[in-house]
Structure 1
Amino acid sequence: MALTVSGDVLLIIFVHGFKGTDQTFSQFPERLQHILTETVPDVSVECIVFPAYETKGDLNEAVIRFSDWLTTLTVEKEVASGGGAGRAKIVLCGHSMGGLLTADTLQEFVRGRPDANAPLWPKIIACLAFDTPYLGLNPGVFKDSATKALEYAQAARTVGTGFLGALAGFGASKATTPPPSETPPNAGGWGKWSGPATYALGGALLAGAAAGVTYYKRDDLALSFSWATDHLKYVGNLWDNAALNKRLEQLVESEEKEGIIFRNFYTFIPPTPLLNSAGRTFIVLPKKSSHVASRFILARNGLATTEVEAHTGMFAAKTNDGYYDLGLEAANAIRTAILTSRGTLVES
C-alpha cells in the first residue's frame, strides 16, 4: 500500500566525478537536506548518492546507465508517495565530470519528449554542478602542479645532500676519536653498545627518513599532475570547444524555456601575497560579458594550496573554509527551483 505524502517530494541526486566514490560528498547531502527541510514549507526532501561507477570509457554509455537508474528510482519514489507521474521533483547535483554526466542526461530527457510542449519526466527542476569543467580545465592546474613537484624535488635533493654530508662528517670524526678505555659503571651489556649503537641507528634512521620523504613526496605531488592529465583522457571532448559551448547553451536554454535552474559552483583560491597575485580556479570560466557567466557561482576556499586540493576537498569543512557558505548557496538555488516549479517565486 502506498504511503501518501503531502507537499512536494524532492529528490536530490548526487553524482561523483573522475575517480570519485560514494564518499565524495561526505556529509554535504545531509547538510543540504537539513537546510531545505527547515527553510522550505511543504516539502519532503531525500538526498541520494548515485552508486560509484567506473569513470572510464565513453561518456554516452555512462549517460545511458545513469538515465536508466534515475528512471527506475523516480518510478519507485512516485509510487511510494502515492502520487502519479511528475509527483517527484528532481535536482541533479554533479561534482566535476559528474556535472557533464548530469547535463547530458538532462538533455536526453528533454529530447526524448514526444514534442516540445510535453511535460518533462522525470521532472527535473534543477541541474547544479560543482566545479564542473564545462569550458575545460584551467591551464594553471598543470602549471602549478608541475612547479610544486619541482620545488619538492629540489627540497628533497637539498635535504638528501645535507644528510649525506653530515653522515660523512660523522664518520670522519669517529675515525679519529680513540675508543673509550672503560665501560661506564653499572652499564651492563647494553651499556657497552648504547653510544655507538645510538649514533649508528640514528644515522640510519635519518638517512632512511630523508630517502622516504623524497620518495613519498614524489608520489604524493606527482598525483595532482597525473590526476589532471587522466581527467582529460577520460573526457576527450574537453578539447572540443564547439561541443563544450553547445552543452552550456543547452543548459541555459533549459533554464530560460523550461525553468530548470542551472548553476555551477566553482572553487576559487584567493590571491596569496608574494606567491600568487591573482586568484586561482580549477576550471576555465566564461567571459564576464557572457550570458552564461551569471550561472557560475564563486565558492571560495582559503585552505587549499593547489587547485586540485580545492577541487577534491570542497565538500568538507576541514579542507574548505567556505564549506558552510557553499551549502547555503546550493540550498538557495534549490529553493529557487522549488518555488519556480510551484509558480510562487517572487522576483526581488
Structure 2
Amino acid sequence: MKKKTLLLCFIHGFKGDDNTFGRFPADLKKLVGHALPQLNIELVVYPRYETRGDLAVRVAEFRDWLRARVMGLEDAAGTQSPTTSPSVRTVFVTHSMGGIVAADTLLSILDDRNNPRNFMFPYIQGILSFDTPYLGLSPAMAAHGADTNLRTASTAISQVSTLTSGFFASRAATESSKALTQAPSEEGKGKEPEAPNFWSQWGRVVAYAGAASALAAGGAVAYFKRDELGQGWGWVSSHLEFVGVLLKKEELKERAERVSRIEGVGFANLYTALGDRGGDKGDRTFCILPQRGRGWFRCINTKAQDEVNAHVGMFHSDTNPRYYDMLDLAKELVGGWATNEWSSYPGPSSRGVGISVSGGTPGRADE
C-alpha cells in the first residue's frame, strides 16, 4: 500500500517570484522527510502570480490550481474518495502576502456552500508563514527610515497626498496641455514638446490622496520602488488594491484570529526582528505583532540593517545568520502538525476529516 503524501506548497508574497525561497524548500523537504519517514514528502512552488488587482481573484486562481495539483496526486495514489478519505494533505509555506493568500484560501474552502458536510478539499494540514503581516505592517519602519526605497516612496506619496484633488488635477491637466499644444517659439523651433514633469504624471493620484496617505503611514510603501511609482497611478492602484487589505485593521484581526483557531490545522508566523532581544534594535519588526497570539515566533536577524532587508533576506543564509535555526523550527512545526492518526497508518483513513473552528483562548506571542 502506498504511503500517504504531505505536500509542502510554497507561496511567494508581493512582487515575489519562483526564486523567493532560494534553497529553503529543498532544505525543509529533506528535514521533514527524515522526521516523518512514514510519509511521502512532496514540494511544489506556486508559480509566479500577479500580485495586483482583487485579492479574492488571486485566491480563487490559486485554489483552482491547488485543487488540480492535489487531484493529480490523489489519482496517482488510486484514492477512491479523496474528499472524505484523502491520501494527500497540504501545508502552506508562505512568505509575506503569500500568507494572506493562504489564509483566505483555507477560509474559502471551509466556507464553500457547495460543501455542506464541511469536509476540506484540498485538505490543509497547516499554514507556516514567514513574516506575513497578518495584523499589518509596522508603521515604525518609516520612523526608523528603513531602506532607501521605503524612504523615497514614502516621501513621494506623502507629497502627493498633501495636495488637493481639484487643484492638482486641473494644474496637471493645464501643464500637460500647454506642453503638447503650445506653438514653439523661434528659439524652440525644431525641438520636441517637453514631456509632462513628475508631478503631472501623478495628476490622477491626488484623487486617492486619502489612500496614498494611509499607504505611506502604514508602511506599505516598503513594497514599492520609486521607479515603479513613476509608472503612474494605473500601475500603482492595481497593486494598491492587492495590498490594500493591510489597511483594513478589523478584517486583518478577524482573519488572523479565525485561522489561528481552526482545530486540526496548524498555524505559525515566523517573524523577523532586528538585533538581539536586549539590543537597541530588538523591538524593530516588519510586522505588527499581536498583544497575545498563539503561533507567533521571533526570528532574530543580527546582520540586517533594517526591517525590509531582514524581510526579503530571511531565506538565505548569507543574509540571515540564523537561517538554520529558522529551518529547524520550521521542521519541528510541520512535523508536529503532521504527527496524528492520519499519518500513523498507511492507506486511506478510516473516518472523515470534518473541520470545526474553536474559540479557545490564544496563547502569548512567541509561543
User: TM-score, normalized by length of structure 2?
Assistant: 0.65
* 1:240 aligns with one of 248, 253, 256: 248
One-letter amino acid of the counterpart of residue 97, structure 1: M
Q: How does 1:201-240 map to 2 (within 5 A)?
A: 226-227=224-225, 234-240=242-248
SS in 2 for 1:132: coil
> Which protein is bigger by CA-based radius of gyration?
1
Instruction: Confirm whether residue 262 of structure 1 aligns to residue 267 of structure 2.
Output: yes
One-letter amino acid of the counterpart of residue 320, structure 1: N
Contact 1:20 1:52 in 2 (8 A): yes
Distance 1:295 1:233, change over 3 A: same
Contact 2:95 2:129 in 1 (8 A): yes
Residue 281 of structure 1: aligned partner: 285
| Paired residues, number | 262
Residue 9 of structure 1: aligned partner: 5
- Residue 312 of structure 1 deviates from its aligned partner by 0.3
Contact 2:146 2:307 in 1 (8 A): no
**Rounded Cα–Cα distance in structure 1 between residues aligned with 2:133 and 2:316:** 20
Distance 1:92 1:227, change over 3 A: farther
**Rounded Cα–Cα distance in structure 1 between residues aligned with 2:337 and 2:21:** 21
Instruction: Confirm whether residue 70 of structure 1 aligns to residue 70 of structure 2.
Output: no
One-letter amino acid of the counterpart of residue 109, structure 1: I
Contact 1:125 1:338 in 2 (8 A): yes
Contact 2:6 2:40 in 1 (8 A): yes
Instruction: Confirm whether residue 41 of structure 1 aligns to residue 37 of structure 2.
Output: yes
Residue 102 of structure 1: aligned partner: 102
**Rounded Cα–Cα distance in structure 2 between residues aligned with 1:225 and 1:122:** 31
Q: How does 1:1-348 map to 2 (within 5 A)?
A: 6-84=2-80, 85=82, 86-112=86-112, 117-145=117-145, 226-227=224-225, 234-254=242-262, 256=263, 259-271=264-276, 276=280, 278-287=282-291, 290=292, 293-340=293-340, 342=342
Distance 1:316 1:39, change over 3 A: same
Contact 2:266 2:337 in 1 (8 A): yes
Cα RMSD over matched residues? 2.8
**Rounded Cα–Cα distance in structure 2 between residues aligned with 1:312 and 1:81:** 37
Cα deviations by residue, 1:139-169 (Å, 9 ceiling, x for unpaired): 12222236868999xxxxxxxxxxxxxxxxx
Equivalent pairs: percent with the same residue?
35
**Rounded Cα–Cα distance in structure 2 between residues aligned with 1:272 and 1:110:** 38
**Rounded Cα–Cα distance in structure 1 between residues aligned with 2:106 and 2:20:** 22
Give the number of the structure with larger relative contact order, counting CA–CA contacts within 8 Å between residues 6 or more apart. Answer: 2
**Rounded Cα–Cα distance in structure 1 between residues aligned with 2:278 and 2:46:** 41
**Rounded Cα–Cα distance in structure 2 between residues aligned with 1:337 and 1:236:** 31
* Structure 1 gaps, min length 5: 153-222
Cα deviations by residue, 1:61-107 (Å, 9 ceiling, x for unpaired): 10010000001001001111222311111111111000000000000
Specify which structure has the higher proportion of helix: 1
* Structure 2 gaps, min length 5: 153-220, 230-235, 345-367
Distance 1:150 1:136, change over 3 A: closer
**Rounded Cα–Cα distance in structure 1 between residues aligned with 2:47 and 2:126:** 20
